[in-house]
Amino acid sequence: MFSPKDLLIKFSTVFRIEFDSGTVITEVLKQVRKLAEKMKFDVIPDN
C-alpha cells in the first residue's frame, strides 16, 4: 500500500508539455503506468 505522499512522488515523474502543435506526455515509467492501472486512474494515455 502506498501513502498519499508516496503516490505524489511516483506520479511527479510524469510531465505534460504543451506546444503550439499539440500536447505531449513525457515518458511514463512502467511502475507508474501499472500503479495508475491498478488504481483505475485515467490520466495516462495509451500510446
**pLDDT 10s digits, 10-41:** 888 888 889 999 988 888 888 888 998 998 98
Instruction: Spell out the residues 6+ positions from residue 13 whose beta carbon is closer than 8 angstroms to its own.
Output: 28, 29, 32
Q: How far apart are CA 4 and CA 18, in angstroms?
A: 27
Pairing, β 22-25 against β 16-19? antiparallel
Q: How far apart are CA 4 and CA 6, in angstroms?
A: 5
Is pTM beyond 0.75? Reply is: no
Q: How far apart are CA 32 and CA 13, in angstroms?
A: 9
Q: How does residue 47 score in pLDDT terms, banded at 50, 70 and 90?
A: low
Q: How does residue 42 score in pLDDT terms, banded at 50, 70 and 90?
A: confident
Q: How does residue 2 score in pLDDT terms, banded at 50, 70 and 90?
A: confident
